[in-house]
Structure 1
Amino acid sequence: MKAGDLVGGKYRLARRLGQGAMGVVWEAVHEMTSRHVAVKLIVNATDNLRRRLLREARAAGQIAHRNVVEVYDVGETAEEDPFLVMQLLSGDTLYACVKRDGRMDVARALPIARDIGRALAAAHAQGIIHRDLKPANVFLHREPDAPDELVKVLDFGLCKPMGADEMLTAPGGLLGSPAYMSPEQIAGAPDLDPRTDIWSYGVLMFELFAGQRPFAGRGPDLIHAVLTAPIPRLRDVVPGVDPALDEIVAGCIVRDKRARFASAGEIVARLEALTEKIRSAAAQAASEDGDEGGLAVTMVYRPGMTGPASSSHKVAKTIPLSVFTGNPVPGAPPPMKEPPAPPPSYPQGAPPSQHEPPKSVPQSGWGGGQPQAAPLGMPVPQGTAPLQRLPEAQRPAWGAQTPQAPPPSWTSMTGQNQPAVPYPPAQPAAPERRWIGFVILAIGVLALVSVLAIIGLSGGRSSKPPAPPAPSAAPASR
């Protein structure tokens, strides 16, 4: 067969999808409906393979479960070989995913394992044993409008109806995958029941969660390991695995089939409970991450917005962008003003940043009749400034200093590590104040002289006799 061939008079082959030991699968298009389907054809057809393909078609059509691949049609080629028309799947097999990614995350692997168990439970309910369950026969299908992947169990070609006496395997032959076959299936026991699929199911889950098979080797070495080697536990390969999951896998891989889980439905129930437990723990962890006790988020919103731009995080504080750009934001609170700076603790006119002392000024330049310019680096006196109060213990040392001598260092006064600043020399009084003092002193002297003169005149008049009255009073001016 090649691309472009017409199969069954209505399916046009488009491209080859894959090939197995039993047949080859093609993508084909229905000539009348233009529907894309998968067509499975037999390779090197024999009577035994023809019967297997027809059994697979009957089994898949009988189960009719969403986790089992759907069979649409069965037909014959021009060479009278049967073919199956199935649902066209998009995605990868579980085998390809594990080989590419290794051990799968528990949150993703648990739903996959659960859906495989559902497909097994549906098949066992119809009295069908798969007998070839392995990662290569599990497909992770992705539908266009579905966010999650859908598990599809494939290839019921080796399935066997429970209680059937039909033998499609030659006596002494071994058909299947020994790495996943149960010990009784390897031994060729004729009375297989659903518990043989439970063993395969456990081996598949072990590989899914651990990234490796429980039994290693090839050919006779692998068969010997399955039959006699110690059975590993999942917890020994994956430290920290959930104990409930370890118990589920261990309950499947038991050589005595009477000690295994009795049904796939029981395993599915346990996996569902474990899936819900992990989902709840993840939701609680996500809610705690968004709690106020977690990492606080500070968001800066753009001009024109009055609130945070996203609600995906719990916002503990918002700061308008105008705080950084200086532009007002409509509806946003005004930026906080900085508090006024505290008054300086150093003497006025001598900031601590001044390292060089001011130049000395002669006393005559500040006490003469004409005011002189203040020396460079020294402020001109303006008004009055309160003196800084000194501690009691430092007052004697301060008073002992002469006006020209520098006061104690800044460190000794305040205890702060600042450079010592010399104190400016004493400033003489202003010229105006000196003239006012002279005037007041002169007025005082004149007043004292006047008082003394009046007293002297009064004493002289009291020692002479009174004079006769004058005929006419002289003017006061005379």
Structure 2
Amino acid sequence: MSWSVDNTADRQVECDSVAKQVRSWNWIVGGQYRLVDMMGKGSFANVYSAVNITDEADLVAVKISHEGCEDTLVAEAKVYEKLFGLKGVPRARIYVKERRCGALVMDLLGPSLGNLKDYCGHFSLKTVFMLADQMISRLASLHSRGYIHGDLKEDNFILGRQETIDERTVYLVDFGLAKTFLLTNGEHIAPKTGLNPCGTLRYTSLNCTLGNEISRRDDLESLGYLLIYLHRGDLPWILAESVVGGDEKRRLMADIKLHTPVKKLCEGLPDEFFAYITYCRSLRFDEQPDYARLRLLCEVAMRRLDYEIDGIFDWTIRLRDDLEWKRLLALEDVF
């Protein structure tokens, strides 16, 4: 992704164009899935909820590319195919091309961590450590298939649908920027410099922000920044996001990341955050991370802080309370 060209306006026009088609044509994707509602907008595609016209209980998510961005969605569909069967990766059902757009149909999931953070506010340490355990596992699985994600952020981690057996399972989605770190002969790719950063600058690793090629270590470092943000709601370089101009923003973020000591970044947090970031930054470009070691940090922190590993997240209780409140209001209406 290039940060030197701002084509947001063009993307918005394409996005609105596709949305108008959906509203006006009663779009049925692949002759089977009727689009119902828009769930989100992206740089290259929009995501819609849809229903199977032959089984109304079968709900799905459909990702539709903007015109001219089909190649990105085709590549993502191929990654989903490679990841088939992994826990915490949604099933991609079909990919079709119609109306000058590509459409990828996937199982419908629940709210994203971004949605849940908006709902709950900053996550407690207990919730962050329980999430981290699953998120590290997802990256370990992804890397085991030879891919790195390249765009970790709160909107790309999604919970299973509410009131299902998967409602506490964290899913990793959006592989539009994913790429393999292995050559056809099985060897690791070589490091490169002078590249444009990929992904979301807020969470990109230090090496990525400096324009270096990313590998498995960078996914894990990005996850560390995301975990800090989910708890604190802040990172030292967030103010740089207000800077106008992609290149200047990148340079400023790189400078702040480079000159923020890990100890300062993790000040006031449990020691495990410092250990996590320090370990990720110590990895060689082609080194295989010790995922078990990082998951153990989460377990040790949970036990040291006397948190029960019970799968009860911040939103679990609040959602339950909200549903109970709505039930009581409904009873008042009846009586």
1:15 and 1:187, CA in 2 relative to 1: closer, same or farther beyond 3 A?
same
**CA offset at residue 142 of structure 1?**
3.8
Q: Deviations over 1:153-179 (max 9, x none)?
A: 11111001113599xxxx964442111
CA contact 2:224–2:273 (8 Å) conserved in 1: no
Is 1:222–2:242 an aligned residue pair?
no
Read off the aligned partner of 1:144 and give its amino acid letter: E
Q: 1:44 to 1:174 in 2, by over 3 A?
A: farther
Q: Which aligned pairs between 1:67-106 and structure 2 lie closer than 5 A?
A: 67-79=88-100, 81-91=101-111, 93-106=112-125
C-alpha distance in 1 between matches for 2:196 and 2:126: 40
Deviations 1:126-152 (A, max 9, x none): 110001111121123343144953211
Mapped to 1, the partners of 2:271 and 2:261 lie a distance apart of: 20
Task: Please tell me the root mean square deviation across aligned C-alpha atoms, in Å.
Answer: 3.0
Match status 1:128 vs 2:147 = yes
Between 210-219 and 114-123, the greater mean CA deviation after superposition: 210-219
- 2:302–2:309 CA contact under 8 A, matched in 1: no
Aligned to 1:338: none
Matches within 5 A, 1:437-448: none
Structure 1 unaligned regions, length at least 5? 284-478
CA distance in 1 between counterparts of 2:166 and 2:46 reads: 30
User: Aligned letter for 2:94?
Assistant: D
Counterpart of 1:211?
Answer: 233
Residues 258/282 of structure 1: CA separation in 2 closer, same or farther (3 Å cut) = closer
Task: Give the match for residue 329 of structure 1.
Answer: none
Give the structure with the larger helix fraction: 2
Distance 1:226 1:245, change over 3 A: closer
Aligned letter for 1:222? M
**1:282 positional shift:** 9.0
Question: What does residue 65 of structure 1 align with?
Answer: 86
- RCO (CA 8 Å, sep 6+): is it higher in 1 or 2? 2
Matched-pair contact (CA < 8 Å) for 1:140–1:149: yes
Of 266, 272, 279, the match for 1:251:
279
2: CA distance, partners of 1:266 / 1:74: 38
1:262 maps to which of 277, 289, 298 = 289
Aligned with 2:50: secondary structure?
strand
Once the two structures are superposed, what CA deviation does each residue of 1:368-389 show, in whole Å capped at 9, x if it has no partner? xxxxxxxxxxxxxxxxxxxxxx
C-alpha displacement of 1:33: 3.1
Note the 1:53-452 alignment, pairs <5 A.
53-63=73-83, 64-79=85-100, 81-91=101-111, 93-146=112-165, 149-164=168-183, 173-190=196-213, 192-216=214-238, 217-218=240-241, 219-220=249-250, 221-233=252-264, 235-236=266-267, 238=268, 241-252=269-280, 254=281, 257-258=283-284, 262-278=289-305
Distance 1:282 1:44 in 2: 46
State the Cα distance separating 1:250 from its structure 2 match. 4.0
TM-score by length of 2: 0.70
Aligned residue for 2:31?
9
Structure 1 residues 193 and 24: alpha-carbon distance in aligned structure 2, compared to 1, 3 A threshold: same
Counterpart of 2:302 in structure 1: which amino acid?
T
Q: Which runs of 5+ in 2 are unaligned?
A: 1-20, 242-248, 311-335
Q: Name the amino acid aligned to 1:177.
A: T
Q: What whole-Å deviation, never above 9, does each CA across 1:330-381 have from its counterpart, x for those lacking one?
A: xxxxxxxxxxxxxxxxxxxxxxxxxxxxxxxxxxxxxxxxxxxxxxxxxxxx
Q: State the alpha-carbon separation in 2 of the partners of residues 230 and 273 from structure 1.
A: 24
CA distance in structure 2 between the partners assigned to 1:186 and 1:244 by the alignment: 24
Q: How far does residue 184 in structure 1 lie from its aligned partner after superposition?
A: 2.5
Letter in 1 for 2:174: D
- Following the alignment from structure 2 to structure 1, what is the Cα–Cα distance between the partners of residues 303 and 295? 12
Q: Point out the structure with max Rg over C-alpha.
A: 1
